Amino acid sequence: MTKRLTPQLRWFLSQLRPLLKAHLLSVLLIVLASLTFLLDPLILKWLIDIVLPKRDAKLLMVAVACIAGIYICQLSCYAVGGALSFQTIQKLVFSIRLKLLEQINRLSADFHETVPLGEKLYRVEQDVDQVAELGSTIVPSILQTAFSAIFVLSTMFVLNFRLTCVLLPLMPLFVFLKRQYETRLRRAADSAQEESSKENNFLQEHRSSVVQIQLLR
């Protein structure tokens, strides 16, 4: 498994390893929030099918308390998970930028003369932000999507088995469309990143030479 990992991914995992506990805790909270989000339809079904026909005030209060508790649990899980995820991303960004700056300081003078200042600043600022955010959010996003899909399908089977069987054949269409446009989106993202680097380099050089341009004019 480790042989299939690219050197870049292995390096990123080594940077993420010190923050792995906080990252896993934020992922767990996000998954729990997704689970509690899907309990509402089941409680409403129980409320409509059983509680209301019986006209039982005690069961009605229990249902209201369950809905309120689930809502509070959702807000708490999302808030704590979001705060932990944000803190993890900030620590990861700081660590990567510090090591990247140390690596740049060790490079030769030829590198500093040939590579423009704007491009180096873009790599340290923008690229690090993108790598850290994507790397820190891709695992929670995949897990949240997977668990949400499982929970949604389970809830749909409980609520209406026949309607779920009708909608299931549409899932391969979603996978096909995703594969169809994934390559185009990746090319567009790479092109946009290259153009952003060039524009950032131009702006840095322009700002540093404004006085010389005014004197020449």
Distance CA(92)–CA(79), nearest Å, equals 20
The reply to whether 156 falls in a domain is yes
Predicted local distance difference test score (pLDDT) of residue 138: 67
Predicted local distance difference test score (pLDDT) of residue 3: 46
The reply to whether 175 falls in a domain is no
Predicted local distance difference test score (pLDDT) of residue 1: 42
90, 132 contact by CB (below 8 A): no
74, 36 contact by CB (below 8 A): yes
Residues present in the chain in total: 217
Predicted local distance difference test score (pLDDT) of residue 34: 73
The reply to whether 196 falls in a domain is no
Q: What is the 3-state secondary structure (H, E, C) of the chain?
A: CHHHCCHHHHHHHHHHHHHHHHHHHHHHHHHHHHHHHCHHHHHHHHHHHHHHHHCCHHHHHHHHHHHHHHHHHHHHHHHHHHHHHHHHHHHHHHHHHHHHHHHHHHCCHHHHHHCCHHHHHHHHHHHHHHHHHHHHHHHHHHHHHHHHHHHHHHHHHHHCHHHHHHHHHHHHHHHHHHHHHHHHHHHHHHHHHHHHHHHHHHHHHHHHCHHHHHHHC
Predicted local distance difference test score (pLDDT) of residue 42: 78
Q: How many Cβ atoms sit within 10 Å of the Cβ of residue 1? A: 4
pTM over 0.85: no
The reply to whether 215 falls in a domain is no
Domain extent at residue 119: 2-166
In 3D space, the residue among 139, 144, 143, 126 whose CA is nearest the CA of residue 201 turns out to be 126
The reply to whether 63 falls in a domain is yes
Number of structural domains the chain divides into:
1
Predicted local distance difference test score (pLDDT) of residue 156: 74
CATH number at residue 57: 1.20.1560.10
Predicted local distance difference test score (pLDDT) of residue 136: 62
Predicted local distance difference test score (pLDDT) of residue 2: 43
Predicted local distance difference test score (pLDDT) of residue 9: 67
pLDDT tens digits for range 118-153: 777 777 777 777 777 666 666 666 766 777 777 777
pLDDT in tens, the chain (217 residues): 444 557 766 777 777 777 777 777 877 887 787 777 777 777 888 888 888 888 878 888 888 888 888 888 888 887 888 788 788 888 888 888 888 888 888 888 887 777 777 777 777 777 777 777 666 666 666 766 777 777 777 777 777 777 777 777 777 777 777 777 777 777 787 777 777 767 776 776 766 676 777 777 6
What is the four-CA torsion angle of 67, 68, 72, 73, rounded to 10 degrees? -30
Predicted local distance difference test score (pLDDT) of residue 140: 67
